[in-house]
Amino acid sequence: MSTPPDPERTPGWVDEIYAGVRYGLAGRVIAEQQSPYQRVTIIDSERYGKGLLLDGCWMTAERQERHYHEAIVHPALCGAAAIERVLVIGGGDGGTARECLRHPGVRQLDLVEIDGLVVSWSQQYLPSIGGSAWSDPRCQLSVGDGIAWVRAAAAASYDVVIVDGSDPAGPAEGLFNRAFYEDCRRILRPGGVFATQSESPEAFRQVHLDTVRLLRDVFGHADPLYGWVPMYPSGWWSWTFAASDGRRYLAPQPERAAAVAAGCEIWSPRWQRGGFEAVPAFVERALLAG
Ligand code: SPD
């Protein structure tokens, strides 16, 4: 089903409008459809190439996606005790799976995305983002509900769980609550690491703080990493890593880091150190206050 044109759109621009601010790219919509879950939009932009929005919110773009995907993956994959079995919830554009599969130690990656249209349009319009993940025999794609997947998964069945969802509204809302995080903790093996995108400390301050606090409560250890995704609200973004048996995501294992670092545009052990240190003062105060 195609959707009516958005009356807030400015000709020649594609914007996410959030809290009175526009985050936009010069470009045009090339495909748009209402899926059973959300409005899926593919655009072509001058600066960042083709990109994807869900319900009018930026998700990814060809020439900018590495800020996000390298940041959500490598602290977890370089820090976990083992990385044989990885679960990615969401991530239907394939970028998170692609970065995970650059680690030779990954034997099986389950990618569970709720919206089949996001997967098929990402494969069709944004093939460089998923890259070789789509044909990698280690990658097993399931189109379905990630929350139900995690609930049904056996205890201690994954080494790493990564939640690459959208903002906490619509289909991603249930990816930000205690019951879901408790299931994620249950399915991690000893030494396992959990990672999630945790919104902007500026544009989504309360969601960001609540997410870090809740993850600390559920896992025992959780730390936000700060970086940039230029087209997201405020451009200032965060990913939070959690583990039950220590903050092992802080220190990349040198062999694993060496296997991927040269192929990264943004991530490096040094960048990661800085990103974990760059906790804004107001976040530090709020987290200390409990
Ligand atoms: N506000 C946007 C949050 C989106 C996080 N997920 C992006 C998907 C990229 N694989």
φ, ψ at 185 (rounded to 5°): -65, -40
- Which of 16, 58, 60 maximizes ligand 1 atoms within 8 Å of its Cβ, making it the mutation to test the pocket? 60
Would the pLDDT of 19 be above 90? yes
pLDDT band at residue 5, thresholds of 50, 70 and 90?
A: low
Give the residue whose CA is nearest to atom 8 of ligand 1. Answer: 59
- What spacing in Å lies between the alpha carbon of 280 and ligand 1's midpoint? 22
CA distance 194 to 204: 21
Active site residues: 164
Per-residue pLDDT at 279: 98
With bands split at pLDDT 50, 70 and 90, how would you rate the model's confidence at 249? Answer: very high
Other CB atoms within 10 A of residue 271 CB: 17
* 8-state DSSP, 13: E
For residue 196, what are the β-bridge partners? Answer: 163, 240
The preferred substitution site among 23, 52, 58, 59 for testing ligand 1, maximizing ligand atoms within 8 Å of CB, is 59
Single-letter code of the amino acid located at 14: V
CA distances 172 to 165, 175, 192, Å, are 6, 5, 23
- Within 10 Å of residue 186's Cβ, how many Cβ atoms? 15
The Å distance, Cα 164 to ligand 1 centre, comes to 6
**How much is the pTM?**
0.96
Reported as a pLDDT band with limits 50, 70 and 90, residue 169 is confident
Percent of the chain with pLDDT over 90: 92
Closest CA to 139 of 119, 125, 117: 119
∠134-135-138 over CA atoms, to 5°?
90
Protein residue closest via CA to atom 3 of ligand 1: 166
What is the position in ligand 1's atom list of the atom closest to the CA of 164? 6
Predicted confidence band of residue 176 (pLDDT cuts 50, 70, 90): confident
Nearest to 48 by CA among 30, 27, 29: 27
Compute, in angstroms, the gap from residue 93 CA to the centroid of ligand 1. Answer: 10
> Is a pLDDT exceeding 60 seen at residue 3?
no
Alpha carbon of 53 to ligand 1 centroid (Å): 9
47: nearest Cα among 58, 56, 32: 58
Q: How far is the CA of 140 from the centre of ligand 1 (A)?
A: 21
Residue to probe by mutation, ligand 1, list 197, 229, 238, most atoms within 8 Å of CB: 197
Return mean pLDDT, the chain. Answer: 96
Instruction: For residue range 181-194, list pLDDT tens digits in order.
Output: 999 999 999 999 99
Distance between Cα 165 and ligand 1 center (Å) = 6
Residues having CB within 6 Å of any atom of ligand 1: 57-60, 68, 91, 93, 95-96, 164, 166-167, 197, 232
Residue 65 CA, closest ligand 1 atom number = 9
Q: Which pairs with CB-CB distance under 8 Å and at least 24 residues apart come from 263-272?
A: 263/102, 264/66, 264/70, 264/74, 265/66, 265/70, 266/66, 266/67, 266/70, 266/71, 266/227, 267/70, 267/71, 267/73, 267/74, 269/78, 271/227, 272/74, 272/75, 272/225
